[in-house]
């Protein structure tokens, strides 16, 4: 069974895996497969082993398991331990081996050139905290013995709080490959920042952290009352940038979930945070359990920015009962978990909404019309099974509808998505 690493930017997204791999000298003391679980990415762990106090992690592209092209399955090795000499002995940098003990250059007998890389190429691989131990040009012959396909093999070494680590990889040295490798290196040497309210989420260049902070003096009468702030910490310089804050609703509450998910085709994953807080005061609404708010943030050139439209789509609310004696649910807040949000993002209903498509829904039972997505704001109007309505908006499991009467009168209002078969 493979141990998979988080999808989305190839090697750099092995960050969580690396923190486990580098954080323990005994990480691979057990029999394979790797004794930990990690999310999915474009790389997978082909093998992981411990050899004389040295940890050896081999990653290969996940999407090419059946490829017969050896160049599609070039490995990346991450070797760590307490003793640098032992690590270097395992890696075995030796030009006679074409490339080292861990990486064998494909079809070495056909090479046109195997040489030390130029100073300009080495300059491109400069990375704070890392020493370039070796860099080789690997060039194959093309037609009529001109230069053909080429690789660049790199081996770099760094010192971390846990000891030493060496990374060895051969790639085509295109801009994307260089950037991915350098971001992977940055993640390895990044010190995990403090995150009190929820475990930090690793990104390609830093981490999202969740920490408690004092409320502004004009919002709190108790100095012990805390809110939760969301910040991005840059791995390169430690700079912290605020992303947003979670609402203080008479109590701090907690981070129910925080995760990345793709909300738009061909776009970078967005940050989603679900905040949950117990209901302490009499609100006039029979809430059962906690009250939830969903927050969505888009990655931009200037950092993560709150996406108001998507945040409102998932919305806020809690389960509501008719009365506390019967606990009969009259409304269920649909987005309490990461799984619920991801399922909605993958649904046809969401994709139609995101694309701005015209959506016509059919009422499936006698349904009251509300003036807003709030149960208390019910009107005297209602719809009956078979009525056709136009979707004009969606929020927290409610749909804003436009209904045309047989006489052509337009009626607008809100109904629950479940009364339309979903929205």
pLDDT per residue as tens, the chain (423 positions): 333 233 333 333 344 344 444 443 333 333 343 433 333 345 678 888 888 899 999 988 766 655 567 787 889 999 999 999 999 999 998 766 679 999 988 888 888 999 999 999 999 999 888 999 999 999 999 888 788 889 999 999 999 878 999 999 998 888 888 887 887 787 788 777 899 999 999 887 788 999 999 988 766 667 778 999 999 998 767 789 999 999 998 899 999 999 999 999 888 899 999 999 998 667 778 899 999 999 999 999 889 999 999 999 999 999 999 887 878 999 999 999 999 999 999 999 999 999 999 999 999 999 999 999 999 899 999 999 999 999 999 999 999 999 999 999 999 999 999 999 888
pLDDT of residue 132: 96
First to last CA, the chain: 38
Angle of the 348-355 helix axis to the 338-345 helix axis, nearest 10: 60
CB 87 within 8 A of CB 81: yes
Q: What distance in Å separates the CA atoms of residue 199 and residue 194, rounded to the nearest whole number? A: 9
User: Contacts by 57-66 with C-beta closer than 8 Å and gap 24+?
Assistant: 57/17, 57/21, 57/28, 58/102, 59/5, 59/11, 59/14, 61/10, 62/2, 62/4
CB 378 within 8 A of CB 370: yes
Q: What distance in Å separates the CA atoms of residue 173 and residue 185, rounded to the nearest whole number? A: 15
CATH number given to 360-420:
2.30.30.40
For residue 228, the cross-strand partners are 212, 246
In the chain, the largest separation of any two C-alpha atoms, in whole Å, equals: 88
Token pair in block for residue 416: 């629950």
Among 228, 233, 268, 260, which residue's Cα sits nearest to residue 244? 228
CB 2 within 8 A of CB 59: no
Give the count of beta carbons closer than 10 Å to the beta carbon of residue 218. Answer: 6
Going by C-beta distance under 8 Å and a sequence separation of 6 or more, which residues neighbour residue 150? 137, 138, 139, 140, 172, 173
pLDDT of residue 203: 83
Q: What distance in Å separates the CA atoms of residue 183 and residue 291, rounded to the nearest whole number? A: 38
> What is the CB-side half-sphere exposure of residue 326 using CA atoms within 13 A?
7
Phi, psi of 60 (to 5 degrees): -135, 160
């Amino acid at each position: 069974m493979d141990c998979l690493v988080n999808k989305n930017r190839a090697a750099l997204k092995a960050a969580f895996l690396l923190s486990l791999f580098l954080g323990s000298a005994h990480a691979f003391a057990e029999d394979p497969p790797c004794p930990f679980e990690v999310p999915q990415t474009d790389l997978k762990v082909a093998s992981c082993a411990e050899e004389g106090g040295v940890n050896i992690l081999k990653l290969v592209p996940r999407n090419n398991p059946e490829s017969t092209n050896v160049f599609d399955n070039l490995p990346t090795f991450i070797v760590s331990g307490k003793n640098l000499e032992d690590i270097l002995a395992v890696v075995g940098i030796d030009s006679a081996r074409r490339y080292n003990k861990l990486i064998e250059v494909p079809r070495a007998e056909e090479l046109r050139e195997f040489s030390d890389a130029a100073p300009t190429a080495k300059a491109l691989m400069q990375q704070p905290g890392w020493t370039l131990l070796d860099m080789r040009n690997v060039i194959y012959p093309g037609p009529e013995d001109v230069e053909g396909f080429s690789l660049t093999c790199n081996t770099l070494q760094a010192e971390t709080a846990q000891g030493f680590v060496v990374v060895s990889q051969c790639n085509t040295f295109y801009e994307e490959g260089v950037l991915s490798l350098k971001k992977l290196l940055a993640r390895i040497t990044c010190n995990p920042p403090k995150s009190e309210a929820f475990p930090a989420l690793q990104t390609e260049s830093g981490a999202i952290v969740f920490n408690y902070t004092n409320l502004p003096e004009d919002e709190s009468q108790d100095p012990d009352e805390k809110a939760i702030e969301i910040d991005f910490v840059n791995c390169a310089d430690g700079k912290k940038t605020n992303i947003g804050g979670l609402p203080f609703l008479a109590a701090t509450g907690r981070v129910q979930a925080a995760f990345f998910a793709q909300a738009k085709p061909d776009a970078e994953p967005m940050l989603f945070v679900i905040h949950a807080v117990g209901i302490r005061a009499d609100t006039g609404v029979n809430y059962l359990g906690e009250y939830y708010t969903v927050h969505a943030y888009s990655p931009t050139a200037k950092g993560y920015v709150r996406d108001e439209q998507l945040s409102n789509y998932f919305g806020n609310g809690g389960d509501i009962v008719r009365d506390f004696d019967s606990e009969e649910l009259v409304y269920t807040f649909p987005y309490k978990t990461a799984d619920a949000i991801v399922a909605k993002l993958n649904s046809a209903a969401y994709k139609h909404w995101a694309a701005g498509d015209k959506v016509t829904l059919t009422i499936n039972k006698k349904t009251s019309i509300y003036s807003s997505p709030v149960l208390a704001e019910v009107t005297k109007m209602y719809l009956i099974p078979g009525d056709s309505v136009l979707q004009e908006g969606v929020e927290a499991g409610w749909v804003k509808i436009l209904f045309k009467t047989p006489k052509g009168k337009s009626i607008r209002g809100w109904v629950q998505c479940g009364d339309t078969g979903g929205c």
